[in-house]
Amino acid sequence: MMTQENIEALELWSTQGLRPGGFLTRVLCNDLFGAFAVADLDNRADLFDIVQWCYTNLPAGSHGSEEKLTAWEEKKQKELEPIGDPLKPKIYVFINAGEGTDWVRTVALAESGHQLAGHVSSTDMWAWHDIGLSSESKHDLYQAHYPGGYQLVRVDEPRDHPGVKEAIRLNQLLPKE
């Protein structure tokens, strides 16, 4: 019987393009030998149920090979649009360090210059999730700063983004805590 943890990981893959761990990624790539090589005892015993669940529940383009996984990941990443009312104050979320490495640092910077949140994640895709762009994570902090509402904006090139540049300038003017 499949674990709830595996179901949740595969649902996040399906809906948000967040790659699961090594075992499930190998299953999604149809890498049977690789999946068995890294599977723990429970996953080995559940492999048939996991494959059946994937076949029944996952969109066709989301599994089958590494190329399909990469294409699915890119598709889902493009779907991450700004969240909230565009007329409300903006909170810029961006990767601040480690892009393309094993650890990625993400920042949420209010247009007022206040840094509202930061997070260290294992991948770029998880970084967007963990900072709240594709989840409810950190939204309590955002709501506390902007109780009247806000718009969460993903910024891929913070050095070139005028809103981020202005927020950084304002941040440098804030009193040091």
The CATH number of residue 158's host domain is: 3.10.20
Give me the mean pLDDT over the 43-61 stretch: 93
Please tell me the predicted confidence (pLDDT) of residue 99.
Answer: 65
d(CA 138, CA 51): 33
Helix axes 4-16, 66-78, angle to 10 degrees: 70
Please tell me the predicted confidence (pLDDT) of residue 125.
Answer: 74
**Close Cβ partners of 70 (under 8 Å, ≥ 6 residues apart):** none
Please tell me the predicted confidence (pLDDT) of residue 123.
Answer: 78
Question: pLDDT tier at 93 (50, 70, 90 boundaries)?
Answer: very high
144 has a pLDDT exceeding 90: yes
User: What percent of the chain has pLDDT above 70?
Assistant: 94
Burial grade of 58 (CB within 10 A; 0-12, 13-18, 19 or more): middle
Give me the mean pLDDT over the 95-113 stretch: 86
The number of distinct structural domains making up the chain is 2
Question: pLDDT tier at 12 (50, 70, 90 boundaries)?
Answer: confident
Average pLDDT, the chain: 89
Q: What is the DSSP letter of 164?
A: H
Between 107 and 79, whose confidence is greater? 107
Give me the mean pLDDT over the 12-41 stretch: 91
Question: Hey, which bits of the chain come out as E strands?
Answer: 83-84, 90-97, 104-110, 115-121, 151-154
Q: Which of 10-14, 59-63, 77-81 has the lowest mean pLDDT?
A: 77-81
Same domain, 65 and 109: no
Same domain, 28 and 52: yes
Chain mean position to CA 85: 21
**Close Cβ partners of 55 (under 8 Å, ≥ 6 residues apart):** none
Last residue of a domain, one of 78, 111, 138: 78
Burial grade of 133 (CB within 10 A; 0-12, 13-18, 19 or more): buried
Question: Hey, which bits of 22-125 come out as E strands?
Answer: 83-84, 90-97, 104-110, 115-121
79 has a pLDDT exceeding 70: no
Same domain, 146 and 132: yes
Same domain, 128 and 167: yes
Find the domain containing 71 and state its range.
Answer: 4-78
Q: Are 35 and 144 in contact (CB under 8 A)?
A: no
